[in-house]
Structure 1
Amino acid sequence: MKYLKLKKNSRLLVVGSDPVWKKNDKYFTLSPFNTFFSAFLHYFDYVSMALPFLGDKIQIKNGIAMPEDIEIVELPGFKGVIDFIRKSIWILPKLIPVLHKEIKKSDAVMVMHDDFLGLITLLQARKQKKPHLLFLGGNQVEVVRNKYTGLKRWGAIYLAHLFEKIDQYWMDHGLTVLVTGREMIERLSAPERYIYPYFTSLISDEDIIYRKPRDISSNSTNILYAGFLTENKGVHILLEAFARFREKYHTPDIKLHLAGDGYFRPKLEEICQQLKITENVIFYGFIGDKEKLKQLFREADMFVLPSKSEGIPKVLLEAMAYGVPILTTNVGGIPDIIEDGVNGLLIPPGSPGGFVKGMAKILFDAKLRQKLIDGGYHFIKEHTKEKQAKEIIEYLHRVYG
């Protein structure tokens, strides 16, 4: 294997399955993870991202602009593993030559997903003896279990188990893997040299805001949730807790802001009608405008993430960066970044009563709100995307240097 040498005109290639599209000569994505890799421009002269390209005719209302200093390599378009399989006869003859060419001119290769595209990329990188690593972002078996239904769910679960076995094979034969959270590290067995715990921060130093909690006695109280509206996110539990809180503490002006979209939204809107909280719950849909999302965080008195399962949610890092106290569940990788009573409050998932108590603790105790804000501020200052990129580069040097 070649050593990692960051010479003049050095180039990093990142390969992932989250697609991009083009509008007005700019690339857009729905995946915030795609924007993380601009931090590596501190170490490489060029960063290229090879991603499925959906074209410039696609009608998607919202999207996140890709960093303009990243070169986009357009791969044949597909949406997810199932779509890749359906289109494989058409995709593979075009895909493999492009990957071969891009890997050949790169000094290091990072693979964002353990799927068919990731497998092909790792085989090519290994064949060309280029330093390479794989990001594993949480328990994919649980992700697909909650994402799909029916036969598609069982097919997706089978593929997730298959790729987990392939990941294990790669690690047994020396692949460097970056793993999100202790839960996944415990699921995998590999020499310590080849496995490294990480989480992807999308926060830069300039994003971090230090603030004091708002005086909620003279302002309407705002609770914020941001993320996908799927069943495993537990937003239906949050709605029930929110209704109970309003009734118990007589807070008719309190607002719950839901930023995000997903298949479960119609059900959540129905629950709001049943609980008679429609006027107090605001659905924003997906927000691709970073400044608009920042404004919601700035106006929030508390951020709540009621998930039943998680990796390490990037949205909790955003809440810390924008000075919002956090109430969340003790599942998956969340306890890796939230210490109960220090930079957030942790409760068991699925308990409306637990959320009511947690909401009351934070909203009615200004000193606790300030303590959680301070704890989040100190944590995120040490976990910006620039520092994460530096740690990954140092790790690559230890493995390949």
Structure 2
Amino acid sequence: MNVTVTVESRLIRTPDGMVWTQFAPTYGTWQRYLAVFDRVRVVARVLDQPVAPGGAAPVNGEGVEVCAVPHYVGPLEYVRHRMAITQSLQATATTTDAVILRMPSPIGALVASARTRHRLPYAVEVIGDPYDVFAPGVDRHPLRPLLRHHFAHSLRRHCRSAVAVAYETERALQNRYPAGPDAPSLAVSSVDLPGSAFTAPRHESDFATPPTLVSIGTLERLYKGVDTLIDAVGLLTRAGFPVRVVHVGTGRYRAHLEHLAVRRGIIDRFTFAGWVPTTEGLQARLDAADLFVMPSRTEGLPRALLEAMARGLPAIASAVGGIPELLPADDLVPPNDPPRLAEAIRRMVSDPARMALSSARNVTRARCYSARSLEPRRETFYQAVRQATSRGLARGAAR
């Protein structure tokens, strides 16, 4: 049996037929499905370009093909191109493949509705929370409240109707988007840390003064809370507690955030490093820091935080999404609260013994997300999808 997987990713296709990504799951991710399925068809937005962008990784390869959906950016372009998008999904909507929808996703929602009309089964992987993505302060779209209600309601409906559901988190997403009573439901994170991701925990003497903080995340939107971090560093600086910050990531709000750092008088303490295209480069950034900070307004189960934990970094993060499943309460702060974030950073970096204990705890917790730990659960989910799909197709044929 083959499997078709829909993703809300924007991919690049070059004239040689290769498909590339800078940020979305790569070929290595899709190879995981081949442990149970014969072939994988990835359904995603595709933009044709003459050459692959720097640092891009391949998506397709042996056993993995990409089915192109018309490229769009944002809700307005989605509405404008919806007819063409729907037509491009016709084969996916009626195929006898197993179908897994990585949600939330407008593409996945279209396929789910079509599969339901044709009385065909589908499974869902819940990798994010639209209720938080469209929360106040996270998204500035004028239709934000309507989009928040629509996508959260849609995801709940699709999870209840799916023949199997996998969740990025252990509890958070399950509570808001429960599976149907008869559907297999598993916590199966898409984060898959190789052995090379881990280092030994750090000792008290390994932390520098003044400390270097590191944060990671896209600046395409403000949900990573980098503006909150800038305000917190401004408070620390005015209180005579100097820190330095390196942010890895870029996007359309970079200039806005740089101007904010200038206004707070701390631009000399902030380094906007842009994207780091290699795993080794990212690990070098993490290894050079003393504390990882993630003041996000919304998250699923953040890979960047787990990668930092695996490198033995203590961490301070917002109590949103699946983050409380990774860090203890003392290392959590509310989102959108610069004073609380500043105080949490100050208390952590002022206590080397606590830093060392946090380092050891974080490495141990991150090992729960190693490839060796997750592969059996992931294959259990794929087997459940395959078996549930076979039963669903058999019932449909008997009608």
Q: TM-score, normalised by structure 2?
A: 0.81
SS in 1 for 2:298: coil
Determine if the alignment matches structure 1 residue 15 to structure 2 residue 15. no
Secondary structure at 1:338's aligned position in 2? coil
1:234 equivalent among 208, 218, 225: 225
How many Å apart are 1:282 and its aligned residue?
0.5
Structure 2 CA distance for aligned equivalents of residues 260 and 245 of structure 1: 23
Aligned mate of 2:191, from 201, 222, 227: 201
Tell me whether 1:270 sits opposite 2:259 in the alignment: yes
Rounded to whole Å, the distance in 1 between the matches of 2:351 and 2:138 is 37
Q: Whole-Å Cα distance in 1 between the matches of residues 311 and 215 of structure 2?
A: 14
How big is the alpha-carbon RMSD for the aligned residues of Structure 1 and Structure 2?
Answer: 3.3
Match of 1:373 in 2: 359
1:217 positional shift: 6.7
The 5-angstrom pairing of residues 106-255 of structure 1 reads 106=97, 108-122=98-112, 132-145=122-135, 146=137, 148-149=139-140, 152-154=141-143, 157-181=145-169, 182-194=171-183, 195-213=185-203, 215=205, 221-229=211-219, 230-251=221-242, 254-255=243-244
CA distance in 1, matches of 2:172, 2:368: 22
The question of whether the paired residues in 2 share the 8 Å contact of 1:179 and 1:198 is answered with: yes
Change in 2 beyond 3 A, CA 1:211/1:32: farther
Q: Which amino acid aligns with 1:71?
A: V
Contact in 2 for aligned 1:203/1:384 (Cα 8 Å): yes
CA 1:93–1:172: 2 relative to 1, 3 Å:
closer
Aligned residues: 380
2:70 and 2:81 in contact (8 A); partners too: no
State how far apart, in whole Å, the 2-side matches of 1:203 and 1:227 are.
18
Tell me by how many angstroms 1:215 deviates: 4.0
Of all paired residues, the percent bearing the same amino acid is 18
What are the superposed Cα offsets for residues 289-320 of structure 1, whole Å, 9 maximum, x if unpaired?
A: 33222211111111000123322222111111
Which of 285, 292, 302 is the matching residue for 2:291?
Answer: 302
**Structure 1 spans left out of the alignment, 5+ residues:** 1-9
- Quote the Cα distance in structure 1 between the aligned partners of 2:297 and 2:65: 35
CA apart distance, 1:61: 5.5
Aligned-pair distance for 1:379?
1.4
Cα–Cα, structure 1 residues 207 and 70, in superposed 2: closer, same or farther, change >3 Å?
farther
In 2, Cα distance between the equivalents of 1:217 and 1:386? Answer: 30
Looking at structure 1, the residues matched to 341 and 115 of structure 2 have their Cα atoms a distance apart, in angstroms, of 47
The separation in 1 between residues aligned to 2:224 and 2:254, in whole angstroms, is: 11
Instruction: State the partner residue of 1:328.
Output: 317
The correspondence for 1:49, drawn from 42, 56, 59, is: 42
Query: Structure 1, residues 334-358: CA drift from partner, whole Å, max 9, x if none?
Result: 11222235xxx11223333322332
Q: 1:326 offset after TM fit, Å?
A: 0.7
Measure, in 2, the Cα distance between the counterparts of 1:147 and 1:354: 19
SS in 1 for 2:363: helix
SS in 1 for 2:268: helix
Q: TM-score under structure 1 normalisation? A: 0.81
Give yes or no for contact 2:10–2:21 (8 Å, CA) kept in 1: yes
Counterpart code for 1:162: H
Alignment of 1:89-104 (within 5 A): 89-97=83-91, 99=92, 103-104=95-96
Q: Does 1:71 align with 2:64?
A: yes
Q: Give the drift of 1:138.
A: 3.0
Unaligned runs of 5+ in 2: 389-399
Separation (CA, whole Å) in 2 of partners of 1:122 and 1:217: 50
Kindly indicate whether the alpha-carbon contact (under 8 Å) linking 1:19 and 1:77 is maintained by their aligned counterparts in 2.
no
Aligned to 2:32: 39
When residues 173 and 305 of structure 1 are mapped into structure 2, their CA distance, relative to the original with a 3 A threshold, is closer
Deviation (angstroms), 1:221: 3.0
User: Structure 1: how far apart are the matches of 2:367 and 2:226?
Assistant: 29
- The alpha-carbon deviation at position 36 of structure 1 amounts to 3.3
State how far apart, in whole Å, the 1-side matches of 2:198 and 2:325 are. 20
Q: Is the 8 A contact 2:10 2:44 kept in 1?
A: yes
Q: Report the Cα offset of residue 126 of structure 1.
A: 6.2
Query: How far apart, CA to CA, are the structure 2 residues paired with 1:87 and 1:111?
Result: 20
Q: 2:333 is matched with which residue?
A: 347
Q: 1:322 to 1:23 in 2, by over 3 A?
A: farther
Distance 1:351 1:144 in 2: 19
More displaced 10-residue stretch of structure 1: 371-380 or 51-60: 51-60
Aligned equivalent of 2:394: none
